[in-house]
Each structure stands twice: as structure tokens, then as C-alpha cells.
Amino acid sequence: MLSGPWKQRLIRYANTGTDQQFPMRDGLNSPRTILGRKILQRKNMNSSFSFQNKIKGEVRYNEIMSKYTSMRIGGPADVFVLPESLRDLQIILKHRGSCPVWTLGEGTNLLVRDRGIRGIVVSLKNCFKSIKRPVFYKTPDGKERAVIQVDGGVKLSYLAKYAARYGLTGIESLVGIPGSVGGAVVMNAGAEGTEIGQVLRSVKRVNLDGEVEIFDKDDITFAYRKTTFPSGDGIVIEAELDLEKGEASEVHRKMGDHISRRSSTQPLTMPNSGSIFKNPKGDSAGRLIESSGLKGCSMGGAGVSIKHANFIVNKGNASAKDVIKLIEHIQTVVEEKTGTKLEQEIVIIGE
């Protein structure tokens, strides 16, 4: 991480918004130092990269990502932007130059490496937070259903509770998933047999050129913890869900059951990122890890949870390096003992 006068210089130059170039010395075109790489990166950004003055939201530099991940791990992001509107988001994307962009939801399925993220991190913490009142309709066979329009930055648990207020059924089991709607759409989050992809009607996304795209659910492919869009990357800003009308008391009862099952089986009092590995077909990653004798196994500050073997917990001072070493160790031992290669579910980013 940069500090002192160098940091100030970089910030000043990143904010100029003119064609001014950082005064690079000859021979620094292929920088070998961290500082050199950072300078080159700023140069690669579009010369009109002065978000601070152009957007209503906030721009921070060298923001420590551990503050934003449920694992409480992660080094600094070069540029951390908190847009406040679609317009802000479009300005950021249109002026990012060749700088890579990462989207941060609630950071509950994310491991950010210790040296942080080179590029721009866009956090939806301050925007895309509304849910529209459900629109009810009747199907040809007389069943009552409703469409809910929800923004990408809304918490999934809030959405599930909101739907329950109207007696809408179909997403009760998602109530305990701590992510955002955007993160859930991208990960096709699910629990106990329900995945968000099953109830989606459409998704609105801003692509990396800042253009708004709308995808019908038939345009998108949903797989286990993975959603594939027909084109490139983008930021999910809205989704429409189509839900069946049920009995409100029954919907609330089911949600309560899901929440208490989670608190009795998951290490919710310690920082973690949910399931580390995908469940292999017909089996559970937790069972394989436990039967390989790895429950409680530690690397540095990272340990396999005693409560649920598919969870890695941060015991206080874990680094991303500790977690990655532990992930690799689990994969090796489980493959040796059971013949199954566990596939990672969490997203690992940064350097």
C-alpha cells in the first residue's frame, strides 16, 4: 500500500481529469516495483478519470477491503467507488479507460487477496436499494402470482421477508443467505433445493461500457452457483422475480425454520464466507471434509469450522494466504482420501 507523499501525488494525478501525465522517467515503461505498476495503472485510466468531481457518490483510494468482506480479510483496493445512482455508475464505467472493474455486493462469497485489488471496486452499498410493491396477476389456470421488482443492492434476506409480508412463496429458504440480490443473481445463490434462478423473470444490468441491458430469464443460463449471461460482464442493478401467492403464516413459519436450522449448523458468530466448496453431485463437501479428518484443521489464523466442515473461519488474524493454503490442503487431502476433487465455490480476487 502506498503512503505519504507518493500516495498524495498519485491521488492528485488521478483526480486532475486533464491530459497531464505523471512525470515518468525513461526506462520505467515496464515497471518492476509496486509503485511503478501503480503509476502505470493510473496512466492507463482514461485521462478524464476524475470521478470525484463528476459523480454524487464517493471515491476512496487504497481502501482496505477487509472492512467489506464477511471473512474480514482483504488488502487495499486502488480505487473504491460508492456510486449513488445509475448515472454515477455509468460515468464510472464510461470513464474507466482500460482499468479493470470489480463489483462488490455484501462481500459474503468473496476472498480478497492480501495485496488487494488493482483497479476499481464498485460497491453497491449506497445505491440500488429499493423494492417495488408486488404486481399481482392470475394465471390461465386461476392461480394467483406476483412480480416483484427489486434493486441489485437490496439484501436477499430483506427481499425474502418483504415477499413474505404479501404471502408470496418460493424464496423462503433464501432468507438466511447474507448476500445482496445482485450477488445472488450472479452466483445463482440457493439453499435447500431453491435457487434464485428458478424464480427470476428478468435481470437488468449495466455493461462495462455503461449501457443498460435487460435480459429475459430465457437469455440466461443458470447452473449450480453459477449464472452465465449471453455477453461479457456487468453490474446487476435490478431483478424481477415471479412468485406464487401462498399463505403468509406458512411462509413466515418456513422462513423461521430455515433461520433456526442455519444458526444451529453454521458458524455464524465467526467471520466466514459461507460454503467454501461446491457440493459434488449426490454428496456434500462438508461430509467429505469431515470424513477426511479435517474438521478443526488450521493454517495460520484460518481454520475449518468445528460446526460445519465446509466453512473456513477467520479465528482473528487470518490472511488470505492462510485461507488459500487451507483450501489447497483440504483439496489435496480430500482427493487422496476419497478420490473427489472439491471445486471452490467462493470467488477469489486480487493479488
Ligand X SMILES: Cc1cc2nc3c(=O)[nH]c(=O)nc-3n(C[C@H](O)[C@H](O)[C@H](O)COP(=O)(O)OP(=O)(O)OC[C@H]3O[C@@H](n4cnc5c(N)ncnc54)[C@H](O)[C@@H]3O)c2cc1C
Interface with ligand X (CB under 6 A): 70, 102-110, 124, 152, 177-180, 182-184, 186-187, 189-191, 225, 235-236, 266, 268, 272-274, 347
Pick the catalytic residue from 72, 96, 225, 262: 225
Smallest separation, CB 184 to ligand X (Å): 4
Residues 6+ apart with CB under 8 A from 346: 109, 110, 111, 273, 274, 275, 276
The x, y and z cell numbers of residue 33, run together, are 516495483
Smallest separation, CB 138 to ligand X (Å): 31
The x, y and z cell numbers of residue 141, run together, are 389456470
Tell me how far apart the alpha carbons of residues 192 and 303 are, in angstroms, rounded to a whole number: 25
Cβ atoms of residues 82 and 41 within 8 Å: no
Is 225 part of the annotated catalytic residue set? yes
Nearer to ligand X, 77 or 187 (CB): 187
Nearer to ligand X, 15 or 284 (CB): 284
Is 336 part of the annotated catalytic residue set? no
Smallest separation, CB 105 to ligand X (Å): 2
Smallest separation, CB 156 to ligand X (Å): 7
Nearer to ligand X, 44 or 70 (CB): 70
Cβ atoms of residues 327 and 312 within 8 Å: yes
Distances in Å between the Cα of 177 and the Cα atoms of 5, 102, 283, 345 are: 43, 21, 21, 14
Nearer to ligand X, 108 or 169 (CB): 108
Nearer to ligand X, 40 or 259 (CB): 259
168-169 and 194-195 as β-strands: parallel, antiparallel, unpaired?
unpaired
Is 345 part of the annotated catalytic residue set? yes
The x, y and z cell numbers of residue 342, run together, are 472439491
Smallest separation, CB 267 to ligand X (Å): 8
Pick the catalytic residue from 275, 292, 305, 319: 275
Q: Which amino acid is at 162?
A: Y
Tell me how far apart the alpha carbons of residues 256 and 155 are, in angstroms, rounded to a whole number: 17
272-275 and 221-223 as β-strands: parallel, antiparallel, unpaired?
unpaired
**Active-site residue set:** 225, 275, 345
